[in-house]
Amino acid sequence: MLESDLQRAIIMWSRTQLTKYPQLLWLHAVPNGGFRDAKEAVGLQSQGVKAGILDLALDVSRGGYNGFKLELKRPGGKCAKPSSDQEQYMQFCTEQGYFAAISNDFDECKALILDYLEGRLVRC
HEC string of 45-104 equals HHCCCCCCCCCEEECCCECCECEEEEEECCCCCCCCCCCHHHHHHHHHHHHCCEEEEEEC
Q: What is the pLDDT of residues 33-75, one digit of tens each?
A: 656 677 776 777 787 778 899 999 999 999 999 999 999 998 8
What local confidence, expressed as pLDDT, does residue 34 receive? 59
The answer, yes or no, to whether residue 26 has pLDDT greater than 80, is yes
H-run or E-run covering 2: none
Say if strands 28-29 and 56-58 run parallel, antiparallel, or are unpaired.
antiparallel
The CATH number of 3-117, from 3.30.413.10, 3.40.50.720, 3.10.450.40, 3.40.1350.10, is 3.40.1350.10
What local confidence, expressed as pLDDT, does residue 38 receive? 74
The mean pLDDT of 2-8, rounded to a whole number, is 93
Q: What are the structural domain ranges in the chain?
A: 3-117
